């Protein structure tokens, strides 16, 4: 999930308490004879919410850190009831799964040696709290503990937001700029379509909180959700165009978000199949603030026309008579 810019882009210094206590290793921490910096590396979170900063600091001071070659996972030692959050075996199994998926994801997008500031690892934090999973930038994503415990975590989707290169940062833009210009459909659709493809290739379970259907049901689900949403024309105007629907981030979120995510993913997947792969989409998304024109140049196809063909392919033609996406 990419979050609305209006939520939590304020940055605060990490709490002093956490900085002090970070020197101590907790009971479920790592080998005290090893250097804490090496055994408990911390991720960089560029556009963290205030809550992220507090949760990250708490995990880094009191949590359990488990390392892979391509992933660092931070878990709480105990859950809110005081019981151990995860057993050692559970943490190991989760890290092995994350490692496999993230390594495959890097290869899939043609960037096997992906790194952020010379660190090839994606940092996943699993706080014991309820919030929307998100990847605020840098090399760090946040996912609720209960989701990973229940194997209902969109970790591959969030990792994709971090792995896909963008020569700019939409999340750091002013709200009004991102709301008008960010091609949110491309960011969300590409993260989800890539996550689905990698999960399928690796035989990993794929889970999306908003698109809880198997990959082969995605197009039918998208069509159902588009028809069911309050204003299909308005929704489809931002799938293939610029801008974010404000409804996605307010009280109407659940009326629009499943349709938006499913439609964006279905459309991206359709484009990739037509183009013979994800390369044009991956190159276009990197071309910050020129994504639409860049994709049309690289693919040699208009996105307006492409959207009409995709809509016909999933059986929702006629829903967008008033579509006029901005460039």
Binding residues (CB under 5 A) for Zn ion: these are: 1, 188, 191
Contact of 210 with 117, CB cutoff 8 Å: no
Q: Min. distance of Cβ 75 from Zn ion in angstroms?
A: 22
Nearer to Zn ion among residue 1 and residue 62 (C-beta)? 1
Nearer to Zn ion among residue 4 and residue 127 (C-beta)? 4
Task: Please tell me the distance from the alpha carbon of residue 165 to that of residue 282, in angstroms, as a whole number.
Answer: 8
| Both tokens assigned to 218 | 């995605």
Q: Min. distance of Cβ 149 from Zn ion in angstroms?
A: 21
Nearer to Zn ion among residue 85 and residue 159 (C-beta)? 159
Q: Min. distance of Cβ 192 from Zn ion in angstroms?
A: 7
Nearer to Zn ion among residue 191 and residue 272 (C-beta)? 191
Q: Min. distance of Cβ 318 from Zn ion in angstroms?
A: 29
- Residue with tokens 């279905």, as numbered in its chain: 266
Task: Please tell me the distance from the alpha carbon of residue 147 to that of residue 206, in angstroms, as a whole number.
Answer: 12
Nearer to Zn ion among residue 57 and residue 143 (C-beta)? 143
Q: Min. distance of Cβ 261 from Zn ion in angstroms?
A: 8
Please name which of 304, 183, 322, 325 lies closest in space to residue 243, comparing C-alpha atoms. Answer: 183
Task: Please tell me the distance from the alpha carbon of residue 286 to that of residue 201, in angstroms, as a whole number.
Answer: 24
Please name which of 62, 61, 96 lies closest in space to residue 78, comparing C-alpha atoms. Answer: 62
Instruction: Give the phi and the psi of residue 47 in degrees, each rounded to 5.
Output: -125, 45
Cβ-closest position to Zn ion: 1
Helix boundaries (H) for 209-278: 218-228, 232-237, 253-275
Q: Min. distance of Cβ 300 from Zn ion in angstroms?
A: 28
Instruction: Give the phi and the psi of residue 71 in degrees, each rounded to 5.
Output: -145, 145
Task: Please tell me the distance from the alpha carbon of residue 154 to that of residue 128, in angstroms, as a whole number.
Answer: 16
Quote the DSSP letter at residue 75. E
Q: Min. distance of Cβ 25 from Zn ion in angstroms?
A: 33
- Residue with tokens 């507090």, as numbered in its chain: 54
Nearer to Zn ion among residue 51 and residue 79 (C-beta)? 51
Q: Min. distance of Cβ 257 from Zn ion in angstroms?
A: 11
Nearer to Zn ion among residue 155 and residue 310 (C-beta)? 155
The 3-state DSSP composition of the chain as helix, strand, coil percent (nearest 5) reads 50, 10, 40
Sign of CA dihedral 188, 299, 214, 245: positive
Distance of CA 86 to the CA centre of its chain: 24
Nearer to Zn ion among residue 188 and residue 219 (C-beta)? 188
């Amino acid at each position: 999930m990419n979050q609305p810019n209006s939520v939590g882009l304020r940055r605060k210094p990490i709490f002093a308490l956490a900085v002090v206590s970070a020197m101590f290793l907790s009971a479920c921490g790592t080998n005290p004879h090893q250097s804490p910096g090496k055994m408990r590396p911390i991720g960089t979170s560029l556009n963290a919410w205030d809550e992220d900063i507090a949760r990250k600091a708490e995990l880094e001071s009191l949590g359990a850190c488990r390392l892979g070659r391509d992933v660092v996972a931070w878990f709480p030692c105990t859950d809110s009831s005081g019981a151990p959050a995860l057993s050692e075996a559970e943490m190991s199994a989760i890290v092995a799964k994350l490692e496999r998926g993230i390594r495959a994801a890097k290869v899939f997008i043609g960037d096997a040696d992906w790194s952020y500031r010379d660190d090839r690892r994606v940092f996943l934090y699993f706080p014991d709290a309820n919030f929307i999973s998100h990847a605020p930038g840098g090399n760090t994503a946040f996912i609720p503990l209960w989701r990973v415990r229940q194997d209902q975590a969109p970790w591959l989707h969030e990792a994709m937001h971090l792995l896909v290169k963008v020569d700019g940062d939409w999340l750091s833009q002013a709200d009004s700029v991102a709301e008008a210009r960010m091609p949110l459909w491309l960011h969300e659709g590409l993260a989800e379509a890539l996550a689905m493809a990698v999960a399928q290739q690796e035989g990993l379970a794929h889970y999306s909180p908003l698109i809880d259907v198997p990959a082969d049901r995605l197009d039918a689900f998208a069509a159902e959700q588009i028809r069911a949403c309050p204003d299909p024309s308005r929704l489809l105007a931002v799938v293939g165009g610029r801008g974010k629907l404000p409804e996605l981030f307010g009280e109407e979120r659940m009326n629009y978000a499943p349709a938006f995510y499913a439609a964006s993913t279905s459309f991206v997947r359709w484009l990739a199949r037509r183009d013979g792969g994800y390369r044009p989409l991956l190159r276009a998304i990197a071309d910050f603030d020129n994504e639409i024109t860049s994709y049309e140049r690289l693919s040699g196809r208009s996105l307006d026309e492409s959207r009409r063909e995709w809509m016909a392919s999933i059986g929702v033609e006629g829903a967008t008579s008033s579509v006029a996406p901005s460039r």
